[in-house]
Amino acid sequence: MSEPLGIFGGTFDPVHYGHLRLAEEACAALGLPRVLWVPAGQPPHRRAPLASSAHRLQMVRLAIAGNPRFALDAAETQSEAPSYTVDTLLRLRQEQGPLRPLILLLGADAVAGLPKWHRWQELFDLVHLAVATRPQHSLSPDDLPPPLAVHWRARLQQDARALAGASAGRIMSFDITALDITATHIRQALMVGRSPRYLLPDPVLDYIDRNHLYP
């Protein structure tokens, strides 16, 4: 069995320390030697990002520079098609082969909305799900929509080694540091002239300033 690969998607509009800590702590909790960051191109389930695909890609590139466990996948940002997660995962599964464990990293808020995703039940054939939760706020099936709760009960694992032992189909939650940082808060601060410094990496903030991304 190959080493597991973490997959972390999002609009990253802009990327911030909350994203970086989630990916970093996933490496420690799940034994991931690598996390592949996948900025969304045209997210179909939400309002279009304010920053262009090219700018968001570059911000992620700046944010993850210097971390040997982080890598960047630009395919969604280079496509004009809607960025459906299942299509991206089908591509990555083809690239990585049928045996490598692929682990999709999600926040607890995102996983609750999973049944609204395009062809969401196919995800379990392609990847494991690893759900980041704040300490002492672990999810239970009662917190989830009934269609997802069924999968949660059947697939939940307590040991990260269970994810490495199969290519897909399992679920695990892991604790992360509670950082109350959101991209929305950062954009709002910039729009009213307040500095969001120390909420995101300085190279990303400098890039935002140079390119006047959130006036």
Write the DSSP assignment of 64-111 as a string of letters.
HTT-TTEEE--TGGG--S---HHHHHHHHHHHH-SSS-EEEEEEHHHH
43 versus 181: which is more confidently predicted?
181
Over range 34-52, report the average pLDDT.
Answer: 90
Our CA dihedral for 72, 115, 178, 141, rounded to 10 degrees, sits at -140
Over range 71-95, report the average pLDDT.
Answer: 95
pLDDT for the residue numbered 143? 85
Maximum pairwise Cα distance, the chain: 51
Distance of CA 118 to the CA centre of its chain: 17
pLDDT for the residue numbered 46? 72
Over range 84-105, report the average pLDDT.
Answer: 97
Question: Amino acid letter at 56?
Answer: R
pTM beyond 0.85: the answer is yes
**pLDDT, tens digit, 9 for 90 and up, residues 102-146:** 999 999 888 989 999 999 999 999 999 999 998 767 788 888 999
Over range 7-29, report the average pLDDT.
Answer: 97
**Are residues 60 and 209 in contact, defined by beta-carbon separation less than 8 angstroms?**
no
Write the DSSP assignment of 174-185 as a string of letters.
EE-------HHH
Confidence of residue 154 (pLDDT cuts 50, 70, 90): very high
Q: Helices 53-64 and 202-211, interaxial angle, to 10°?
A: 150
Q: What are phi and psi of 65, to 5 degrees?
A: -60, 135
Query: Over the chain, what is the mean pLDDT?
Result: 94
Percentage of residues of the chain with pLDDT beyond 90: 85
Q: Which domains does the chain have, with CATH numbers?
A: 5-211 (3.40.50.620)
pLDDT for the residue numbered 182? 96
pLDDT for the residue numbered 80? 84
State in Å, rounded, how far the first CA of the chain is from the last one: 48
Is the pLDDT at 66 greater than 80, yes or no? yes
Is the pLDDT at 74 greater than 90, yes or no? yes
